[in-house]
Structures are given as C-alpha cells and as structure tokens.
C-alpha cells in the first residue's frame, strides 16, 4: 500500500499504464516488450503450462490412474534344478520354497511356477499354479508328481453380485453407425453356481 493507492477512493481499477508515449515516460520505444522475439509481436500468447522450454510441471509429475499392468499375472519362479535341496518324497509348494530361501516372493503375487532348466534326481510332489512342459517331464521322469492348484473361479456371467440368478429378459442392442436403431435380444440364463 502506498499513498497513490490510498487516494484511489476504492475505484475498481488503478489508472492504466500508458506505454509507447515517448522516452520521457519510461515506457517509450519498445513499450516494455523488450527487443525482438515472439513476445514483442502482437498476437503472441503462450499455451497453458508452457515454462519457456523447461520440462513443464504436468510432465514432471508421475502418472496416476488405471493401468492394465496392475492386473498382470506375476509368478514366483524357480527352476527344476533348485528343487534338489528338498528331501525325496517332500511336498514342494510356494511356502516351502520361500522357507528354504530359494527365491523371494514376486511382488503382489501368490502364484508359483516351475521352469525346466537343470536336472532333478529326487521324487517330489510339487503343487504349482504353472509349470513348463520340460519341467513336468523331468519331475515325472524322476518319479515325482505334479499337482496343479485350481484356478480361482471368478463370478459367473449373468449372476448378481449377491449370488442370486439374474432373471432372463430382453436387452436393447444398439446397432448401426451412431444411428438410434435398436433390436431386441433375449438374454438366456447363465451358468448355474
């Protein structure tokens, strides 16, 4: 606050700065726009977020939101040769492998998979979510067995979230290229739980 502002008597705007009115005004010649360049021309305007060529804030910040990678299947993986540390006849699953310290658990994963690299000489019972063909052959050739863990069953189609069956009815299907043409289709009952 200064004396000049105190004298405005509460006017909405201060007096406009009159530029380009000769050298005596202090804002003559280039009228406060400097020399040459886009900013000195009429019609110039920067786009929103422009920081003079510096990496703008919206690109410096990390992305957030939905990403399909969050739903990727990730396995904790070991090779057949790693299973030699177990005693013959032992049952091998993810918990047993982690307890032996053969590997660390993959991030956000409870799935276990065995690959076929190496040799195995002991008969083991392995419980896995995934296994390669080579690994299966080597384990069975050594007298072991492979038990596949059942895949998690997702909610069947046409069932409500509370488990009740959705009653068959009619659905409106949009057809055509953006035109409001509708056809009636029967919805049949989904698989029974």
Domains of the chain as residue ranges with CATH: 13-61 (no CATH), 72-148 (3.100.10.10), 154-193 (no CATH)
Indicate whether 191 pLDDT > 70: no
Contacts of 21 (CB under 8 A, 6+ apart): 27, 28
Q: How long, in residues, is the chain?
A: 193
Q: CA–CA separation, 98 vs 106, rounded Å?
A: 11
**What average pLDDT does the chain have?**
82
Tens of pLDDT, residues 45-83: 989 999 989 999 999 999 888 888 777 889 999 999 999
The pLDDT value given to residue 34: 92
Structure tokens given for 165:
């069956």
Indicate whether 171 pLDDT > 90: no
pTM of the full structure: 0.49
Sheet order of strands, 111-115 included: 75-79, 111-115, 130-131
| pLDDT band at 16; cut points 50, 70, 90 | confident
Q: Stretch 186-192: mean pLDDT, rounded?
A: 50
The pLDDT value given to residue 8: 66
Look up tokens 């002991």; give the residue: 122
């Amino acid at each position: 606050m200064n004396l000049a502002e105190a004298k405005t008597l509460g006017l909405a705007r201060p007096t406009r700065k009159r530029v380009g009115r000769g050298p005596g005004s202090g804002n003559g010649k280039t009228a406060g726009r400097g020399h040459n360049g886009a900013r000195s021309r009429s019609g110039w305007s920067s786009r929103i977020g422009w920081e003079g060529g510096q990496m703008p804030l919206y690109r410096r910040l990390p992305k957030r939101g939905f990403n399909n990678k969050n739903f990727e299947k990730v396995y904790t993986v070991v090779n057949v040769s790693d299973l030699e540390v177990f005693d013959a006849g032992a049952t091998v699953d993810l918990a047993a492998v982690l307890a032996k310290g053969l590997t660390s658990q993959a991030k956000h994963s409870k799935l276990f998979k065995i690959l076929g690299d190496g040799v195995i000489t002991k008969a083991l019972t392995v419980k896995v979510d995934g296994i390669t063909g080579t690994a299966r052959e080597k384990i069975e050739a050594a007298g072991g067995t492979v038990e596949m863990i059942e895949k998690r069953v997702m909610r069947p189609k046409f069932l409500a979230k509370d488990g009740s069956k959705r009653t068959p009815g009619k659905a409106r299907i949009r057809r055509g290229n953006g035109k409001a043409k509708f056809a009636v289709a029967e919805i049949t009952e989904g698989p029974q739980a």
